[in-house]
Structures are given as C-alpha cells and as structure tokens.
Structure 1
Amino acid sequence: NISVPKEYSIRRHYETHREKYDQYKEKSRVDKLWDFKAALVKQQSLLRNVKRDNEAVVKASYIIAELVAKNSKCFSESEFIKGCLVKTTETVCPDKVQIFKNISLSRNTVAERVDDNVTNLSEQLFAKVKSFTAFSIAVDESADVSGVEQLAVFIRACDTDLIITEELLDIISLKNTTGEDIFNKVYGLLEKYNLPLSKLVCEATDGAPSMTGKQNRFVANCKFHHIHCIIHQEVLSSKFIKMNHVLQFVKKVVNFIQSQGLNQCQFSSLLSDIGCEFESLPYYAEVCWLSCYSVLKHFWLLREEIKIFLEMKGESPDKLYDDNWVQDLAIMVNITWHLNDL
C-alpha cells in the first residue's frame, strides 16, 4: 500500500514548486489534477498487479512441487517442467512468458516447497487432533529398496461433529523390528501429536510375528482391540474360493505374453491394430491381492484377443473354449471387484 502523505508534506511540495503549478488556471488546473490522480491510480494498479503476479508465481511453484512429490518424481524434473511451460507460453501467450520464467522450480526450491507442504499438513493435523473424541491406528512395516525397515502409521479418527479424518501420521525408519521397538515408535508418535491412549479404540496390523507373535509382539504391548488388516484377510479368504484353476491359467498366459519382449510387442501391436482401448496386460503380483482384480478384469475384457494371439503363437487356448471355465473366470472377476471396492 502507498502511504498517504501528510498535509504538511503536500503543502511544502506545493510551495516549493508553486511557480510551476500557478501557470495552470481554471480548466487546465482541473485537468492537471485529474492527470495526477490518474497517474496515482496507475501506479497503485501496477503495484497491485506485481503483487498479484508474485503471489501467483509462488502458488504455482507450490502446486508443481506438490505434484512432483505425489507422483514420486525426481525433484530435478521440475526444471524440465518449467522449460515446457515457458516454451508453451511463448507459443500460446507470449506476453506472459516472463511470469512463467519467474516461477522458481530449482531442485532445492522444490525440496523446500515439499518440506513446507509437509509442515503445513502436520500443523493442520495438530489443529484437528484437539477435537478428536476417538481414533484408531493402522500399523505396517516393510523394507524399502535400500533394505531399511520403514514403519507406516495411519490414523482414522472421529471428532465432536462426527467427521471422519483419515491421514498418514508418519513413516518412521526402524533399526530393530521387535514388537517392543515398534510400540515405542508408535507411542512416541502419538505423544508427538498429543493423542492420548485413552482415546485409542483399536489398532490394525498384518499377521507378522513382530505384530501378532507370541513374544514381544506389538499387539501385546498395545493391549487394545486388535483388527487384522482387511487386505490380508482377503488374501487368506481367497485361498478358500477354490478358483486356483482360473488363476493358474491366467497367470500362465499373462507371463507368456509379458515376460517375453517379442510376445509383448506383438500382442500390443495386435491390440492396436484392432483398435482396442487397452495396450497390454498387467502383471499379477500374489503378494498384492488388489492387483488380482486388475489382471482378471483385463483378461476378461481381452479374452477374445488373447484367444487369437495364442492361436497365432501355436499355444492352446483350450480353457477359453470351455464354457464352465469362462463362467468361473466371470465369477472371479465379480468377486475381486467387490473385494477391491471395499
């Protein structure tokens, strides 16, 4: 904002330049006054526009940093994104090029933006926990690509207005994976967010020994109502569906197509030639039960194309001609769809 000059300063300025202003009489004097006012408005508008552009540039930087982090991209790729934005702007709206050039997207800047976003989310969660009347946690530990054990802690809470909040509290690196160590880490995290154990109603884990084993297990240290992870329950339940004959053939065909580069290219080319909406088949990962639906769904929708491809390659698609097997496949697609939708 432009500060309003004091009356004394205005009078002194006028008296100093009196001869210059006295030459304006009547209408010309009024016109000159309007010129001064217009110049002031223009100056104020220019400053407001600069401020607005600066705010938009900073906001865009935060938005792009958030997208980079959410999509697990390297921070240095943000500079490539900026280059694309600048080139696009030069073509579409050249008068706005400088604004896009002002967006700071260096690797260090993006890292700072991500840290700021994390801090902001933590502050929001800190503010929310004060109204929580009850909460539950889900805990899971797994090794990352470098072999370091990581502990993920999720929270699901209900506040006084019966609004449900689900958030990832934190991911903690572990040196030891005993139940006691995991409990201490989780307890410390709850203390950090001022979440009293008196409001903890239950906790969910997988069936790992450190979680539910006989000695030094996490569940024993918690002494709260325990729920077995629903995804692991689905995996266990799937063992009793008696549909292994369906999955075995599906996995065999998927591996035949996807594990060989030539077959994969030829199958993708076949799908492209017939104008199919899919480009290929996804892999099935037994450890990730939710991937089963995606594989079965694609296999079901592409069963005719798969039949053609197998015959082209001299492989027997006998199961695809068996009505009973096809019906079992349809049942499996429906079952996994419902499980995936839980």
Structure 2
Amino acid sequence: MKEYNIQRHYSAKHQDYKACSGQIRKDRVQSLIRELSVQQNIFTNTNSESEKAVRASFAISKLIAKKYKPFTDGEFIKECVITLAQIMCPEKQKLFENISLSRMTISRRIENLSTDLKLTLEKRASEFQYYSLALDESTDATDTAQLAVFVRRIDSKFNLTEELANLHSLHDKTTGVDIYKAVMNGIDAIGLKLNNLCEVTTDGAPSMIGKERGFVALLEKERINSGSSTMKLVKVHCIIHQENLCSKSLRMQGVMEIVVKAINFIRARGLNHRQFRKLLDEMNSQYGDLLYYTEVRWLSRGAMLRRFYELKEEVFHFMEEKGKPVFHLNDPLWLYTGVYAIEINSLCKEFENRFKDLRSNIVNFAIFSNPFSLEPIELPEHLQLELVDMQCNQDLKAKFNDVTLMDFYQKYLSSSDYPNLVKHCKMMACLFGSTYICEQLFSQMKLVKSKCRTVLTDRHLEDTLRIATTDMEQNIDHIVRPMRHQSSSMSK
C-alpha cells in the first residue's frame, strides 16, 4: 500500500490519535492490537466449532450406515445427545445443538462418504497388479434385481483387499448381456483393466455361465477381441453353490419331509411353540429352540438338520405327548444309514462332476499353497527352474514352515529372484473361491432396504452398503476441510 494512501486514511479517519504522544500513544497502539486479536479469535473459535460439528455429523452418519439404520435416526440421536448435554454439561448444550443430523443432511453425508470411497478405489486401481471378480444377483424388498460385484485385488507387496466395486440395480431383464453391460460399465468407471483380470466367480445361473450368451462367455470374447487375453482367465462356479447342487443328488426328500413337518407342527402354532420351549428349559437342553429351513436360503438346511438331530429326544417326547409320534427318531437305521451312508457313493460321483473346473487347476493351486512338496517336472516349463532354485534354498524352506503363507510371500520371496513364481502366486492369492461375500451383502441389503424402507433410492442403497462393507480407512477431516461449515440452525 502506498504511503500517500495510508497518510490520507489516517488524516480522514483517525485524527483523534494526533493528540496522543509518547507512552500514551504506545499504550493506545497495544490496546488496538489486543482488540483486533480478540475479534479474530471470535471468528477462529466459531469456525473451529462449526468444523467440529460437521465432523461429528459425518462420524454419526458413518455409524448409521454401518449399522444399517434409517437416515431419520439421526434426528433421534440428536435428541438423545441434547438430553444428555442438558444433564451432564448444560454449558455445552449449544455445541451439540449445532450438529446437523436431519434426514437430508445424513443422506448428503452418506453420499459424500461413499463418493470418497469410490475415488479412493479408483486411485488404487493403478496399483492393482491382478484382480478377481465375484458377482451374484438377488432381489430387494421391491423385487428390483440387484447385481453385486466385488473386487479382490493384490498389489506389488502382496497386500490383499476385497471391496464392493458396484451394486447395479437392474430394473428390466437380467440376461447375460444385461449383466455383462452393467459389469463392464462398472469396472470401466473404476479404471480396472481387463488384462489384469485373472478370475471370475459366479453362481450357476444360465445368465452367468451360458455357453454363448452368458456373462462369462461374453467377458471371455471381450478379452480376446481387445487383446487382453495374455493370461488364461480362471472361471469358477461358486464352490458353495456347487456343494448345494451336489446335495440335491442325495435322496433326502423323505428325511426332509419328516423333519420339516415336525418343525412346522411345533413352531407354526403359538401354543405348541411355547410348550416346546418350556419342555426344552425343563430338560436343560443345550438349545432353546428349533431352526426353520427355507429353500431359498439353502445354507440353512445343514444347520436345521443338525439342530433337529441334537434335539431329537426332546422332539420325540413332545410329539408323542401331542399324539403325533415320529417313530423314525427311534430308528437308528433311519438316523444314520438312511440319511448318510447309502448316499456317500452318489455324493462322491456328483462332486467328481461338479468340481472338474477346480481340478484342472489343482497344480496351479499347489504351486501357491505348498511349492516345496512338488516335483518340478509337474510344473509348466517357465516355472520349473525357479522352483528348483527355491527348493534348494534351505533358508526359504525354513521360513515357509515358520510363518503364514501370505507372510512368506510378502517378506521372503523376492520378485527379482523368482519373477515368474511371484507373478503366479499373486494371481492365485487374489482368487475368489465362492460368492459368499455377495450372499453376505444380500443379507445386509435386507436390513437396509426392508419392507419399511422401500422408498430408499438405488443410489442410497449402494452408498450405504459400500460404507457398511468397506475395510478402507476414511479420513473424515480430508472430506470436511474443503466444505463450508454451517451450524444446524443455518443448514435447516
């Protein structure tokens, strides 16, 4: 600023200070400086308190998403916090009142948190040396098809992560072409490259594994057409689904009919159910109730049969008292031979057929899981010399027996000494074995989008599940810093 301008401002605005001189003038200057400092601190403290209120709003929104709670719960949480403040620290009540937890605010916070996670995933995509996909489809409370796509990736340091890549809402058909388009759009948005894709795990639906128009077939064609098929794509039909299909070959219909009929008689009627639970309590039974079984959630069958078998004596006594005796429960042949032994051979044959795709990769799995037990001649040529060198290294062999598998590859197997082996083991490490992670997501989806929350949008459903399932750490301060901070009263 020019001296003339300063002089003119002083003459026009501060003529009164001309009368001050010496120590009086110095004291007056110090007083003005202190007043300015106080004014600046007022703004600083206000900004600091507003920023803390926004951080608290984000932290509570994150908890709401992780616990699958409705967005409207934020308002109830605020009421609880203010009530606590009134009792515990009334002088700080105003601070808690400034935290914005309205339904709209919670929805915006969850959108911001989810966007931050997606951006982080996109940034890390360049670090993915190899990745695999697991995908499955189910319907939500409004019968909308939801396609869950998870990515499992590995970086140069053998660090593994699993994250929800996308949750696609399919409002029309769910053919292989529809699934293919949705998945390709999703991985393109993240920045994943097809030449780094080493495995795909799906269920056995025709839309997934159809030979011509299934998702896997279309993906394989795209890799060939784009020149991304430098390595063989491992295609896995979910192991858990295959085990379920194998179990269908067992002649268990007679067993299931008897068991399900008995359970329904006990649990479907309120009086019977109460009396049965009282009987279990009187007999000091290990369990307090029987379990239901549903064909849709087929994993429940094993748990249901196990619980029924362990409570067979209690069930027998109860059904006999009710005039509905189940004589099979006293028949050892029915309990053991009839249920298990007769079907072992057919089950083995079914497993033989179902797991052909995994058996074709058994050597590849063994190279990763136990390389010191293999004969080099059994391996592909480009791995044989490196395996011989590794097996001759006694230090590596000792470490392999002392540490976990992933620690061994992370800390002791050098990519410069064993480049092909390291590359192969990274691909094996990032494989999905099943779509169980998708099944878990669908269970969480039923809590997020329940019959009481059917108006939840597709975006908010995906955002909530992304936050609820992530293992990535989020820096809320990084999200809050560029935002304009407002108190709750202003944001309304």
- SS of aligned partner of 2:129: strand
Judging changes above 3 Å, is the alpha-carbon distance between structure 1 residues 66 and 261 closer, same or farther for their aligned structure 2 residues?
A: farther
Question: Residues 1-342 of structure 1: matches in 2 within 5 Å?
Answer: 16=17, 50-174=46-170, 175-223=172-220, 224-239=233-248, 248=257, 250-266=259-275, 280-292=289-301, 294-295=303-304, 313=322, 315-316=324-325
- Report 1 or 2 for greater relative contact order, CA contacts < 8 Å, sequence distance ≥ 6: 2
Instruction: Determine the C-alpha separation between the residues in 2 that align with 1:314 and 1:146.
Output: 43
Describe the shift of the 1:179–1:41 C-alpha distance in structure 2 as closer, same or farther (beyond 3 A).
Answer: same
Distance 1:23 1:298, change over 3 A: farther
Aligned length: 319
User: 1:4 matched to which residue of 2?
Assistant: none
State the superposition RMSD in angstroms: 4.6
Q: Could you tell which deviates more after superposition, 296-305 or 60-69?
A: 296-305
Q: Which amino acid aligns with 1:192?
A: A
What is the CA deviation profile of residues 185-225 of structure 1, one whole-angstrom value per residue up to 9, with x for unaligned ones? 21121111111110011111111111122441112112232
CA positional deviation for 1:22: 5.3
The TM-score, its normalising length taken from structure 1, stands at 0.72
Question: Which secondary structure does the structure 1 equivalent of 2:110 belong to?
Answer: helix
* CA deviation after TM superposition for structure 1 residue 165, in Å: 1.4
Q: Which moved more, 1:181-190 or 1:231-240?
A: 231-240
Distance of 1:103 and 1:301 partners within structure 2: 52
Distance between the aligned counterparts of 2:215 and 2:195, measured in 1? 18
Which moves more between the two structures, 156-165 or 77-86?
Answer: 77-86
Structure 2 Cα separation of the partners of residues 274 and 194 of structure 1: 61
In 2: Cα distance, 1:97 partner to 1:300 partner: 58
Letter in 2 for 1:71: K
Task: Report the TM-score, using the length of structure 2 for normalisation.
Answer: 0.52
Q: Is the 8 A contact 2:130 2:196 kept in 1?
A: yes
Question: Which residue identity lines up with residue 66 of structure 2 in the other structure?
Answer: K
Residue deviations 1:56-80, cap 9 Å, x none? 3222222322233333332223212
Query: Bigger shift: 50-59 or 153-162?
Result: 50-59
SS at match of 2:165: strand
C-alpha distance 276-109 of structure 1, shift in aligned 2 (>3 A)? farther
How far off is 1:153 after superposition?
1.1
SS of alignment partner, residue 132 of structure 1 = coil
Change (3 A) 1:45 1:225: same
Shift of 1:127: 1.2
| Structure 2 residues without counterparts, runs of 5 or longer | 1-6, 221-232, 341-433, 438-492
Identify the structure with the greater strand proportion: 1
What amino acid maps onto 1:16 in structure 2?
Y
Does the 8 Å contact 1:76/1:106 carry over to 2? yes
**Runs (5+) with no aligned partner, structure 1:** 1-7, 332-338
AA of the residue aligned to 1:188: N
C-alpha displacement of 1:235: 1.3
Identify the range of structure 1 (47-56 vs 152-161) with the bigger mean alpha-carbon deviation: 47-56
Contact 2:293 2:304 in 1 (8 A): yes
